[in-house]
Structure 1
Amino acid sequence: MASQRKRNPNGAGTITKRKDGRYQAAVYVLQPDGTRARKFAYGKTWTECDIKRRELLDKVDQGVPVPTKSAKLSEWLPYWLDNIVKPRRKRTTYAKYEVHVRLYLVPMLGSKRLESLSVADVRRFLVQLEKKTTAATAKESHRVLRTALTAACREELVMRNVAMLVEPPSVDARDLSPWSLDETLSFLSAARKDPLYAAFVLAIALGFRRGEVVGLRWENLDLEKREIRVRTQRQRVRGESYEDDPKGRRRKQTLPLPAMCVAPLRWQRMRQAAQRDRAGADWKETGYVFTTRTGQPIEPRNLYRSFTRVADSAGIRVIRLHDTRHGCATLLTAAGVAPRVVMEILGHSQIAVTMNVYTHVVQDTQREAVSHMDRLLKRRPGRE
């Protein structure tokens, strides 16, 4: 008498022979909503069915969801946010994605199942959303959906990403108008007595982001060697202030510190020492360069408020603090600095960002470039 196969241990699934002669494997698998359900696989032989059983168990071990039926977008998108985006991406990225999922994608596409979502569904969604909000919002929602469906493809929940087959709405590029050299000098002159003067100088001279300025620590400054490193930035998301890694290439950079930054930073160090003495026991040592009267790091939005207050009081055109990055790139380019060097100073991860977004060369520089062409192409005397 043939010996019976041993039963698989608990959780390893079962294989049974059906009346039609085929074999059936049953395994409890993870669903996109976090619950567990039975998934069936079939094969002509026991071995073929066992291979499919093992593949399902591998996904169970890896925590990969295997829906027993095609999941709805309202099930997949929250799972994707919490289990794929949140552990791997920055909090600011998660917060931005979550807004689009909660306000637009789930209400307007949530009832669609992943496998049945069509190109036409995505196109209609974008048209409706653009009418309801703006082209920029629709374009960003398209990007979030495309990213979520790419993750679904990786986990073999769908065979293709239909969002990639739909062209997103076109958005007019924002007209960037950073300060001219005269405006920049006027601002620096007006801000000289402001407590955050050194912060403004860093933003203008090195194109530091707001979070990079308020997240700067003394340990990453060497005023004698005139070197500066950006290892942290501070952000506030949904009422919570926290420290994060800097964007792009910043975390790997050691930049030379412009001479114009050294004196303001030394003044800031002396000013902070005086604040420490006045605060006494109330002082909390955090190591940040820019702090409140008790040593706490300043809020990013307060830096921007001071920036706009100085500009407005001096009668200078008010721009975003982030636009000083555009201004930094423009001035460097006007001075003849190579785009690759501008890219390194601003900490961009790709040269295309520097070339396409930040290089707004001033009109005088354009006129000078055209004059070079005049000299190059001018026919020599005595030649036809």
Structure 2
Amino acid sequence: MRGCISKRKNGTYAYTIEMGKHPETGKRRQKMKAGFATRKDAENALAQVLADLGRGNYVEDTKDTVQEYYTKFLALKRPQLRPGTLKTYKWLINYHIIPKLGQIPLAKLTPHHLVTMYEKLRVECNLSPQTINHVHKVLHDGLATAVRHEVLQRNVAALVQPPKIPKTKMNVWNEYQLVQFLEYAKPYRYYMLILLAATCGLRRGEAIALRWVDVDFSKGTITVKQSYTRGEKGHIFQEPKTKAGIRTIALPQITIGALKRQRALQAQDKLAAGADYNDHGLVSQTKKGLPINPYYFEARWLDMVRKSGLPKIRFHDLRHTHASLLLKQNVHPKVVSERMGHSSVGITLDRYSHTYGVDYGAAERLDDLLAYEKKSL
């Protein structure tokens, strides 16, 4: 393998490498790279390429632009991603990555390009640090795939730190506020969804997707096996992301009683709708047996909270309220973690550490211990 250095008319330097004959056409192949400021820079780059070729590590960078590559990348990821995640990937690529970086050759993408883009997304597009982190993750995933497939030498996203996501205070209700709201919400049609989030820690999609076959009245449990979530075209039922998401949860008596009343309510719906009833077997359905639209329910939730006069929280915060109240009652974090469907107890402890507040009990126990040690001296 041979290479040489040449000076160009504009005063910069280039290297040219003899790559041997093409295996199919038999024609001579050469690789040239220009734009080096000094001969020394060109010589160093040539030496590195020749060394990579000698070790079999050389990768010839793709000629695709960022737009061309990430369009192909989306097609590659389609069978690997859940529908909701794929929709997020498409949105981040088509509305943020391609408009800002699309015309840049992928091989010439630098850390500076990414840092500049993140700042523009923050200032010009008013995106949150969390959304910019999502952009970074998709960029990183695409570039890492290019490196693995040997169409790119390095992943420049690995050299860039996305904006730090600030910790936000979690909004939860205390036990008195929760009791007050549950009493207020009892006459509403979608009370069951609210109760499942508040007493079992279910996510919105999990509560909507809960089926009667997942309810065991004899054992007093429900098993979370699916979620109603966003797909490419509308909402779909799918299994939870992790094994921890499929879980069996013990029911309090208030929820068991509400489930029994819910069955009676659905029997009335079936009778009233007659042949128009399209039963999906869900614990919570529309009057005609269809899955509840999450966006419609979210609007009803906000209206209920406003009318109740209680502090405004998101529906998802009922799940946080459930975990916080259990931890305040000294339920073991492992048990809370399992009810919530967290992949590890560490997530539970990190997310709800504020629940414990100032641990005066720990200080008192230390006093008792040290007092005992002092007496024994």
When the two structures are superposed, what TM-score results if normalisation uses the length of structure 1? 0.78
Call closer, same or farther: CA 1:21–1:87 in 2, change over 3 Å: closer
Call closer, same or farther: CA 1:223–1:128 in 2, change over 3 Å: same
Call closer, same or farther: CA 1:40–1:262 in 2, change over 3 Å: farther
Check conservation: 1:249, 1:348, Cα contact below 8 A. Answer: no
Check conservation: 1:80, 1:148, Cα contact below 8 A. Answer: yes
Q: Distance in 2 between matches of 1:141 and 1:282?
A: 45
Matched, 1:82 2:90: no
Q: Distance in 1 between matches of 2:105 and 2:62?
A: 9
Call closer, same or farther: CA 1:177–1:160 in 2, change over 3 Å: same
Call closer, same or farther: CA 1:316–1:24 in 2, change over 3 Å: same
Q: Secondary structure at the match of 1:151?
A: helix
Call closer, same or farther: CA 1:25–1:207 in 2, change over 3 Å: same
Q: Distance in 1 between matches of 2:28 and 2:20?
A: 12
Matched, 1:122 2:120: no
Aligned length: 331
User: Which deviates more, 71-80 or 207-216?
Assistant: 71-80
Matched, 1:71 2:64: yes
Match of 2:179 in 1: 185
Match of 1:49 in 2: none
Gaps of 5+ in 1: 1-19, 28-38, 43-65
Matched, 1:276 2:270: yes
User: Which deviates more, 151-160 or 248-257?
Assistant: 248-257
Q: Distance in 1 between matches of 2:361 and 2:306?
A: 33
Call closer, same or farther: CA 1:22–1:266 in 2, change over 3 Å: same
Q: Secondary structure at the match of 2:257?
A: helix
Give 2:24's match in structure 1, choosing from 23, 26, 30: 26
Q: CA deviation at 1:105?
A: 0.8
Match of 2:194 in 1: 200
Match of 1:94 in 2: 86
Q: Distance in 2 between matches of 1:362 and 1:189?
A: 27
Call closer, same or farther: CA 1:308–1:275 in 2, change over 3 Å: same
Match of 2:36 in 1: none
Call closer, same or farther: CA 1:376–1:26 in 2, change over 3 Å: farther
Please give the per-residue CA displacement for 1:5-61, whole angstroms capped at 9, x wherever unaligned: xxxxxxxxxxxxxxx99542239xxxxxxxxxxx9989xxxxxxxxxxxxxxxxxxx
Percentage of pairs with the same residue: 29
Call closer, same or farther: CA 1:339–1:74 in 2, change over 3 Å: same
Match of 1:106 in 2: 98
Correspondence list, 1:1-384, <5 A: 22-26=20-24, 69-84=62-77, 86-132=78-124, 133-136=126-129, 137-237=131-231, 240-361=234-355, 363=357, 366-378=359-371
User: Which deviates more, 107-116 or 301-310?
Assistant: 301-310
Gaps of 5+ in 2: 1-17, 31-58
Call closer, same or farther: CA 1:26–1:161 in 2, change over 3 Å: same
Q: CA deviation at 1:283?
A: 0.9
AA matched with 1:220: D
Q: Distance in 2 between matches of 1:295 and 1:101?
A: 37
Call closer, same or farther: CA 1:145–1:280 in 2, change over 3 Å: same
Q: Secondary structure at the match of 2:222?
A: strand
Q: Alignment RMSD, CA only?
A: 2.9
When the two structures are superposed, what TM-score results if normalisation uses the length of structure 2? 0.79
Check conservation: 1:329, 1:359, Cα contact below 8 A. Answer: no
